[in-house]
Chains A and B, each alone.
Chain A
Amino acid sequence: MSQVKSPFARNLKQGVRAAWPICLGYIPIGLAFGVLAQKAGMSWISIAVMSVIVFAGSAQFIAVSMLASGAAAMAIIVTTFFVNLRHVLMSSALSVWLQNEHRGKLSAFAFTVTDESFAVNYTRFLNGNWDLQRSQVVNYTAYFTWIFSTVTGGFCGHYIPAHSFGIDYALIAMFICLLSFQLTNRLVILTAVVAGLVSVILSVYIAGNSHVILASVFAATVGVGLGRLRYFKNKTDIEEKEL
């Protein structure tokens, strides 16, 4: 069949194909969230409303447990802000690839930026041949998968056996692979090693997830400083591509 496809149909197909590892990871987590929320007394509509408006895995888990324990509204909102603050770094890194795009489209895209969609889209941008429309498809495929699986979990999550087929490892494996794609030169490898070690150390001493932001900012700053040394010069291809 040599039928010419419209660019949108092609972008839709490529975006969904890029998003499937995210969906595979979101389904068990979404189901687990739905079960937890339902046990905390939330109706499926309440679950759907939170997934539609907030769309942030770990923050939703924390919010539900805080709601169940009767925490103050302000405490829940402030906690959510800090748990999700790391996305500011991801949106910043993505903005390099989306210069002068339409602000309405960027605003819609920003609504569904997560750790997972960021990692997939950034890798695709780095390899070239990726754009805002395909990124939107990745983000919104993940978004609807999340809504669907959290609501499903609220209805019948407890009928589905947890931890089957190693599915709990799907997102970890995805991050391992996407990290391996990033390690293209000495400077990035060093930065990643510093970020990982600092993050582990901080995570033991600080509750919550501020260790992710602190370690990333620290490591990238060290990396930029060390990037001036000759040892790291002319070995880079990422920076050259982006600058």
Chain B
Amino acid sequence: MPEAYLSIVVAMGLVTYIPRWLPLFFLTKYSLAGWFKAWLALIPGAILSALLLPSLVTVGEPRHLDFMRPELWVAIPTFAFAWTTKSLGGTVVVGMGLYWMADKLI
């Protein structure tokens, strides 16, 4: 393993770690303003949705919209299953099963 590779990886590790570390190290020691806590409480729903939706309706490089992807259509019954059962493990298994079947059928 060349030394240049190791120094690139260490630098990658550092720039990845700092954004993960700063808030946990500092924000946990100060009482946060009410509006900021309210903002942070909305971040998880926002970020999950912002991560998920493009993976359902966009494809390719550069990305373009595609509403016919099995990812999207399988998501609907998967969401319904999650909503009604509240089971994370069950949803993962059902989602995989439906996607597998969709892949076989199409």
Residues of A at the B interface (CB closer than 8 Å) are 20-21, 24-25, 43, 45-46, 49-50, 53-56, 59, 63, 67, 73, 76-78, 80-81, 84-96, 98-101, 103, 106-107, 109-111, 113, 115, 118-120, 122, 163, 165-170, 172-183, 187-189, 191-200, 203-204, 207, 211-212, 215-216, 219-221, 223-224, 227, 238-239, 242-243
Interface size for chain B: under 10, 10 to 19, 20 to 34, or 35 or more residues? 35 or more
Please report the C-alpha to C-alpha distance between residue A174 and residue B91 in the assembled complex, in whole angstroms.
7
Which residue, of B9, B24, B27, B71, has the highest number of chain A Cβ atoms within 10 A? B24
Q: A191-B42, A239-B41 are in contact. Are A207 and B62 (CB under 8 A)?
A: yes
**Are B28 and A101 within 8 A (Cβ)?**
yes
Please report the C-alpha to C-alpha distance between residue A223 and residue B34 in the assembled complex, in whole angstroms.
14
**Are B47 and A169 within 8 A (Cβ)?**
no
Please report the C-alpha to C-alpha distance between residue A177 and residue B83 in the assembled complex, in whole angstroms.
7
Shortest distance between the CB of A58 and any CB in chain B (Å): 10
Please report the C-alpha to C-alpha distance between residue A118 and residue B48 in the assembled complex, in whole angstroms.
10
**Are A212 and B28 within 8 A (Cβ)?**
no
**Are A166 and B103 within 8 A (Cβ)?**
yes
In the complex, given contacts A172-B75, A221-B39, A238-B41, what are 10 additional A-B residue pairs having Cβ atoms less than 8 angstroms apart? Answer: A50-B12, A91-B22, A92-B40, A95-B27, A113-B20, A166-B103, A192-B49, A196-B50, A199-B50, A224-B42
Cβ of A220: which chain B residues have Cβ within 8 Å of it? 39-40, 42-43, 46
**Are A172 and B49 within 8 A (Cβ)?**
no
**Are B46 and A191 within 8 A (Cβ)?**
yes
Shortest distance between the CB of B91 and any CB in chain A (Å): 4
Shortest distance between the CB of A176 and any CB in chain B (Å): 5
9 contacts between A and B (CB under 8 A): A21-B92, A46-B1, A77-B15, A99-B29, A172-B56, A172-B75, A191-B46, A200-B58, A207-B61
Please report the C-alpha to C-alpha distance between residue A194 and residue B89 in the assembled complex, in whole angstroms.
27
**Are A224 and B39 within 8 A (Cβ)?**
yes
Which residue, of A91, A100, A198, has the highest number of chain B Cβ atoms within 10 A? A91
**Are B12 and A76 within 8 A (Cβ)?**
yes
Please give me the 5 A-B residue pairs with the lowest Cβ-Cβ distance, nearest first.
A173-B95, A166-B100, A169-B99, A199-B50, A196-B53
Nearest residue, chain B, Cβ from A85: B19
Per-residue interface assignment for chain B, residues 84 to 97, with 1 indicating a CB less than 8 Å from any chain A CB and 0 otherwise? 00111101101111
Please report the C-alpha to C-alpha distance between residue A30 and residue B6 in the assembled complex, in whole angstroms.
20
Please report the C-alpha to C-alpha distance between residue A200 and residue B21 in the assembled complex, in whole angstroms.
28
Please report the C-alpha to C-alpha distance between residue A77 and residue B15 in the assembled complex, in whole angstroms.
7
**Are A119 and B24 within 8 A (Cβ)?**
no
